[in-house]
Amino acid sequence: MMLGVTATGDPIHRYHRCLVVPFSGPRKVISTAMEHGGYQENLTAIFNQDVNPGPGRLCEHMEPGQQEKMQSFIREELGLAPDTVARMATIVSMESAAIKSETYDILTVTAITTASLEVNGGRIGEKATSYEKNGEYINLRPGTINSMVFVSGNMTQGCMARAMVTATEAKTAACQELMASSLYSTGIATGSGTDNLMIICDSESTNRLTYAGKHGKLGELIGRLVRDTVKESLNQHMALNPVTQHRLFARMKRYGVTEGTFFKKFNELSHKGQRDFPKWIDRLHRLDQEDELVTMTSLYVHLMDQLGWGLLSGSEAINGGVIILKQIAKDQSINLDLSTKQHESAEAVIQKMVNSFVTTLSEMVMVNEIKTNSEGEKKSNEKTV
Residue type present at position 341: K
CA 6 to chain centre: 26
- In the chain (385 residues long), the average pLDDT of successive 10-residue segments reads 97 97 98 94 97 66 71 94 96 97 98 95 89 71 86 98 98 97 95 96 98 97 98 97 96 94 86 70 90 96 97 94 90 64 87 93 74 41 43
Non-local (6+) Cβ contacts of 346 within 8 A are: 307, 308, 310, 314
Q: Sign (positive/negative) of CA torsion 80, 81, 82, 84?
A: negative
Q: Tell me which H or E stretch contains 243.
A: none
202 near 79, Cβ under 8 Å? no
Question: CA–CA separation, 71 vs 371, rounded Å?
Answer: 68
Closest to 90 in 3D by CA, of 108, 109, 115: 115
Question: CA–CA separation, 168 vs 227, rounded Å?
Answer: 9
SS3 297: helix
In residues, how long is the chain?
385
269 near 362, Cβ under 8 Å? yes
> What is the pTM for the complete model shown?
0.89
43 near 23, Cβ under 8 Å? yes
Q: What are phi and psi of 30, to 5 degrees?
A: -125, 130
Query: Other CB atoms closer than 10 Å to residue 2's CB: what's the count?
Result: 9
Closest to 115 in 3D by CA, of 23, 244, 32, 234: 234
Closest to 48 in 3D by CA, of 8, 7, 3: 3
Closest to 338 in 3D by CA, of 362, 328, 326, 330: 326
Give the pLDDT of residue 237: 96
Query: Other CB atoms closer than 10 Å to residue 71's CB: what's the count?
Result: 15
